[in-house]
Amino acid sequence: MSTPSGPDIYKRKALAEIEAAKAETDLERIRIEYLGRKGPLASMLAGMTQIAVSQRAALGAAANEAKRAIEDALAAKGAHLRDVRLADIAETEAIDITFPGPPLGRGHLHVLTQVQRQIETVLESLGYKVELGPEVETEWYNFEALNIPPGHPARENWDSFYFTPDLLLRAHTSPVQIRAMQRIKEPPIYIITPGRCYRRDAPEATRLPYFSQVEGLAVDKGLTVGDMKGTLLYMIQSLYGEERKVRVRPSYFPFTEPSFEFDVSCGICAGAGCKSCRHKGWLEVGGCGMVHPQVLRNGGIDPDKWNGYAWGFGIERMAMLKHDIEDIRLFYESDLRFLEQF
Ligand code: DAH
């Protein structure tokens, strides 16, 4: 029986350690220990010159055989340990695709959209139809057709953003009055037109360079200020409650004659006067009036046969009134703490 050679002894030791290894890191340690540059096999091969020539070939073969055996055992055990590890992960971290997911957060309509839809619903119940117009408008529809010729001082009130001298972002929804008359042609006309408007105003608590209005237009025979006031009273009480009162104050708009400012009684103090209404008891929501004969003419309607009333209210204003919101900028800051309240 031949005694085991040096390489053979290390091979057996290494294979036993590989057999017992529990983790891939153990294998790496074993590899460095036996096969590394400072390991026993390497130093044996390096010391070959010290031994008798007749034994060199046998030792070299034994050392190479031991090296290959250790490498094979390391690879086999490595593959085994990796399989075990992956099988373990597959079990403990398995994704159960039948497991119900976390509930999705439900969004809801923006408070301005809610208020706009409420206004639409109330007026539709009175027979008004929703009519939309472009936000990029011509100078003629935005001003001239509404009786505001070039150079008219009232243009200052509706300073807007111009693309060209003739094309601008509409400063109010009133131009849709003209478009509606031109499209419908034959009265009776009962329309409301909600939408975005733009003005050259710096943002502050009560105004923004972009905002929304809802315009109303009625063209029929023998309409009166009383019809207009009754319609608007109905709208306000439907939105805010029957205890609300409305009033009109004389004012001026080039496209109406007579013209009025339209106020709603303060919901906090019921008209007595408080901080919220600046002690007036009333809050202004917009303008209104009897459509100017020239405006009817510009829309292609004969003012000798027909007359009309119109109004233009700010939707943000109406939402602020409804929910006692003090700063218009809140509507556009997309802060969920604000939006989720409505
Ligand atoms: N367009 C006016 C504005 O933006 C509001 C307005 C006033 C509209 C009177 C009307 C009206 O239809 O009759 O200030």
pLDDT per residue, tens digit, the chain (342 aa), is 445 578 889 999 999 999 999 999 999 999 999 998 888 888 888 888 888 888 888 888 888 899 999 999 999 999 999 999 888 888 888 888 888 888 988 899 999 999 999 999 999 999 999 999 999 999 999 999 999 999 999 888 888 899 999 999 999 999 999 999 999 999 999 999 999 999 999 999 989 999 999 999 999 999 999 999 999 999 999 999 999 999 999 999 999 999 999 999 988 888 898 887 889 999 999 999 999 999 999 999 999 999 999 999 999 999 998 998 989 999 999 999 999 999
- 232 to 127, 244, 320: CA distances (angstroms): 14, 12, 18
Buried b (16+ CB within 10 A) or exposed e, 192-223: bbbbebbbeeeeeeeebeebbbbbbbbbeeeb
Cα 342 to middle of ligand 1, angstroms: 28
**In the block, residue with structure tokens 């990029």:** 136
Q: What does DSSP say about strands 307-314 and 282-291: parallel, antiparallel, or unpaired? A: antiparallel
Pocket test for ligand 1, best of 160, 172, 200, 317 (most atoms within 8 A of CB): 172
List, edge to edge, every strand of the sheet that includes 282-291.
Answer: 129-130, 189-198, 210-220, 307-314, 282-291, 256-265, 246-253
How far does the centroid of ligand 1 lie from the alpha carbon of residue 298, in Å? Answer: 16
Quote the pLDDT of residue 3: 53
Report the C-alpha gap between 309 and 148 in whole angstroms.
18
Q: Which of 255, 261, 294 to mutate to test the pocket of ligand 1 (most atoms within 8 A of CB)?
A: 255
CA of 243 to the centre of ligand 1 (A): 26
Q: Give the global pTM.
A: 0.72
From CA 133, how far away is CA 182, in angstroms rounded? 12
Tokens 């309509």 belong to 109
Asked if 235 contacts 122 with a C-beta cutoff of 8 angstroms, the reply is yes
Provide the β-strand partners of residue 250. 260
- The confidence score (pLDDT) of residue 186 equals 96
- Report how far ligand 1's centroid is from the alpha carbon of 186 (Å): 23
C-alpha span between 237 and 241 (Å, rounded): 5
